Chain A
Amino acid sequence: MMPLAILLGVVTFAGGLVWAERRLLALWQDRYGPNRVGPFGLLQVVADAIKLLTKEDWVPPFADRALFVLAPALVMVTALLSFAVVPVAPGIGVVGSNVGLLFFLAMTSMGAWGVVLAGWASNSKYSLLGGLRSAAQLLTYEAFMGLSLCGVVILAGSFDLREIVLAQRRVWFVVPQIVGCLTFLVAGLAAIHRLPFDLPEAEAELVAGYHSEYSGMKFAMFFVAEYVGITLISALSAVLFFGGWLGPVLPPIVWFFLKTSFFVGFFILLRAALPRPRFDQLMAFGWKVMLPVSLANLLVTGAIVLS
């Protein structure tokens, strides 16, 4: 039952997130946003889903058919699978694995495959460029995503996300690992190619990048997977750096929900506030700033832990 409950919870949360993002962006841009379907426009997501289901299920004749269908499925399934290791509250979670953190990193890399395959299988110039960009971007930011989490692993002495949460009973890891937290947030945003790191799908340059040729439910899979990804990175930021379910008075699951929602709101604010950088700036930032910073953070953390 637990896997089903987690899956339903995640998909519902992601659906609500689509609505919340549109409403919040509208608020910050001084317009209404979706407010017609249901109370406060809450059913907009349902209406969109019905619309997408009845759209033509288009596989272009020039595309590589098998990979074209596989790519969105891969993106969606890996995004959902990553949630298996996220501890929502004591006893709520799919698996308490002692390699949880590694599993998350592995799934993130697998998701990148989906995007690259989509770009390649579409056999269209914009899609291919989007796929290539996303490959380069994901490789760059994954190189230091692992590094930025090593500090947490040193402090907790475990890859198990439950133990990492329990190790934060005295102080949240964001205090000793503020640099690690920031680098992880940047790497996480890049991993789910979310603004300001959405260059693989920059609509002003590449139409829609790797999913230009997708329509209907296959497009919806990319779309939903992106929101599942935002939920995932938010949940992990809460778990790794902000004490997960730990908190006074309120029940653990509420704390987890509140902290995750906080990061979701933060990511939406980033989208509203930041412009998109140029691709070379993005790559230079990754290699020349973030990588050295996370290496230095690791060494400093190591020295402080021992002394």
Chain B
Amino acid sequence: MTAQYIPLVVLLGVAGVLVVTFFLLSSILGKKNMTPTKAMPYESGMESHGAAGVRPSVKFYLTAILFVVFDVEAVFLYPWAIEYRSLGWAGLVMMLGFLVVLALGLLYVWKKGALEWE
């Protein structure tokens, strides 16, 4: 059981070594040339004003919350999907109930305007 995943660990190792090698090579081969302009954040030639930590729109947080709701739903659906044939019609009816509640939730969020970006 565990033995079958050894190649996966090998792949992880090889990929890690590949990335580290490239980074090292690049830091050895690349020249270093520090200038004051380079030490500023790139803003298409304008001088940078204020901190980069702009306050993100609340919509981003809302999207994150919606994601939690609908992705946890997907987590519930996987075991259901894999055992679907043995569950039969009872399984479909039960999941239908679950999905209807979720669809109502989506409809509510929709009507509340949480999906609108201005």
Contacts and interface: CB of A to CB of B under 8 A. Distances in A.
A124 B42 contact: yes
B73 to A, nearest CB: 8
Contact of B63 (A140, A150, A298): A140
B47 to A, nearest CB: 12
A157 B84 contact: yes
B26 A53 contact: yes
Nearest to B25: A53
A123 interface: yes
Nearest to B16: A77
Contacts, number: 202
A146 B81 CA distance: 11
A81 B82 contact: no
Nearest to B86: A157
Please indicate which of the listed interface residues A7, A81, A302 has the most CB atoms of chain B within 10 Å of its own CB: A302
A280 B11 contact: no
Contacts of B10: 3-4
Contacts of A96: 4
Contacts of A217: 22-23, 25-26
A295 B103 contact: yes
Nearest to A131: B56
B19 A139 contact: no
Interface residues of A, number: 76
Contact of B19 (A76, A84, A97, A158): A76
Given A56-B33, A288-B115, A295-B99, A220 B77 contact: no
Interface string B74-107: 1101100110110011001001100100110010
B22 A81 contact: no
A267 to B, nearest CB: 23
Contacts of B20: 73
Contact of B15 (A76, A157, A305): A76
B interface, size bucket: 35 or more
Contacts of A142: 67, 71
B11 A94 contact: yes
Nearest to B1: A98
Contact of B8 (A60, A95, A280, A302): A95
B44 A53 contact: no
Contacts of A159: 78, 82
B23 A218 contact: yes
Contact of A147 (B22, B77, B88): B77
Contacts of B30: 53-57, 216
A212 interface: yes
B38 interface: yes
A136 B60 contact: yes
A79 B109 CA distance: 34
A122 to B, nearest CB: 8
Interface string B10-47: 11101110111011011101111100001111111000
A135 interface: yes
Given A95-B7, A299-B96, A305-B85, A129 B115 contact: no
B11 A7 contact: yes
4 closest residue pairs by CB, A with B: A280-B117, A217-B26, A124-B41, A139-B67
